Amino acid sequence: MSPKPTPPGQAPLYETISSVLRHNIRSGRLPDGFVLIEGPIAKLMQTSRAPVQASLRMLNAEGLIHRFRGRGYLVGDGQTNPAPIRRPLEEFGFEIPHISRSALAVRGTWQRVYDKVEAEIASCQIFGEFRVIETELANHLGVSRTVARDVLSRLNERGLIRKGATSHWLAGPLTARTLREKFELRSIMEPAALIQAADHIDHAQIVEISQQIDSGKVKDSAELDDALMRLCFERAPNSALVEIISNNRLLLSAMDKALSDLGLPEDPVAQDQYRILFELIGSRQTDAATAYLKEHLRILSFKSLARLKIVALIPESESRPPYLIPVH
């Protein structure tokens, strides 16, 4: 008897993504020299970067793509030396076959609810430690336990939850020690990424951000921090470093948003610090920008600790979702 075909959505996600990429490479849609980067592929297929990274490693082992000095992989076996092609996948008629699209739709259900759960779980951690109840999460979202499990796996992958000694999912607490450690990591990794990214940054975009700050069009610190990540750190060719930076920032960003939602005011000095930092980056003063970034993070660490202490004086919101149970 021949084996039964694997139902859509049951095969590992990286295998489905590998199949789609393999199809587009072998059909000639993606030419030799095309640059494959995890982010755009993950966005197009509505998945996280982890299975995309696994897929690219698989195709690299098969000889369909290869590493090069820039960020990502080049299509081709590496025997020739084509010029890198950095353009959107959609411009090349990128095709997702029907069977693969069905599989991605089944496995991608978690993606449609993930952002909401991520924000809720990240925000709650400023108030203490919580147990995450899988069945309650599924009921709260109106999805299957399989989808809820996929969401929890992704949260675990990003370091927002962990398994406790009794195998229960736990979130938090965000303590002063945790905060200090995350800023220590930022002070090590973000300057390193800025140095790596120096030759890949679109400096015209950075100058434009500086001008927007000067004209008062951008005042929100979270927006400026996001621009720093997107336009600078994400341009570093070391994708593993970029992923670690992104995950490490996640809880800190959620804390800032949660505290702002509680009515804590923005730091009035932060905008000037971002303006100076963007001006240094935009004028290609990488060494000065790196030194200033380290000082900026040192100051930001102290201010974040001070903001966190205020939480002890603020009652927890009564709108906490039912799948989060306080651990006393």
pLDDT tens for each residue of 12-48:
678 889 999 999 999 999 999 999 988 888 888 877 7
Residue 165 belongs to some domain of the structure: yes
Same domain, 251 and 228: yes
Residue 77 belongs to some domain of the structure: yes
pLDDT tens for each residue of 253-277:
877 777 777 666 667 678 889 999 9
Nearest alpha carbon to residue 169 among 210, 211, 125: 125
pLDDT tens for each residue of 288-325:
999 999 999 999 999 888 888 876 666 665 678 999 99
pLDDT average, residue stretch 146-150: 85
User: How many distinct structural domains can be found in the chain?
Assistant: 3
Residue 102 belongs to some domain of the structure: yes
d(CA 205, CA 207): 5
Place 228 in a pLDDT band, splitting at 50, 70 and 90: very high
Burial tier of 201 (Cβ tally within 10 Å: 0-12, 13-18, 19+): buried
Same domain, 82 and 157: no
Same domain, 180 and 258: yes
Same domain, 58 and 117: no
The DSSP result for 270-321, as a single string, is: HHHHHHHHHHHHHTT-HHHHHHHHHHHHHHHHHHHHHHHHHGGGSPPPTT--
Contacts of 233 (CB under 8 A, 6+ apart): 190, 193, 194, 197, 242, 245
Residue written as tokens 């930092």?
A: 277
What pLDDT sits at residue 11? 61
Same domain, 31 and 47: yes
pLDDT tens for each residue of 199-227:
989 888 898 888 888 887 766 788 888 88
Are 277 and 299 in contact, with CB atoms under 8 Å apart?
Answer: no
CATH number (domain holding residue 52): 1.10.10.10
Task: Give the helix ranges, DSSP H, for the chain.
Answer: 13-26, 38-45, 49-62, 98-107, 109-124, 134-141, 145-157, 176-197, 203-214, 221-231, 239-261, 270-282, 286-310
Same domain, 161 and 247: no
Same domain, 155 and 214: no
Are 39 and 49 in contact, with CB atoms under 8 Å apart?
Answer: yes
pTM recorded for the entire structure: 0.65
d(CA 319, CA 127): 13
Q: Which domain does 123 fall in, by range?
A: 110-174+314-326
CATH number (domain holding residue 268): 1.20.120.530
Q: Which helix (H) or strand (E) holds 143?
A: none
- State residue 283 phi and psi, 5-degree precision: -90, 10
What pLDDT sits at residue 281? 95
Of 85, 107, 129, the last residue of a domain is 107
Are 86 and 27 in contact, with CB atoms under 8 Å apart?
Answer: no
Same domain, 276 and 305: yes
Of 60, 83, 107, the last residue of a domain is 107
Residue 158 belongs to some domain of the structure: yes
Same domain, 207 and 91: no
Residue 8 belongs to some domain of the structure: no
Of 58, 78, 107, the last residue of a domain is 107
Place 6 in a pLDDT band, splitting at 50, 70 and 90: very low
Residue 4 belongs to some domain of the structure: no
Residue 6 belongs to some domain of the structure: no
Nearest alpha carbon to residue 125 among 35, 303, 251, 274: 251
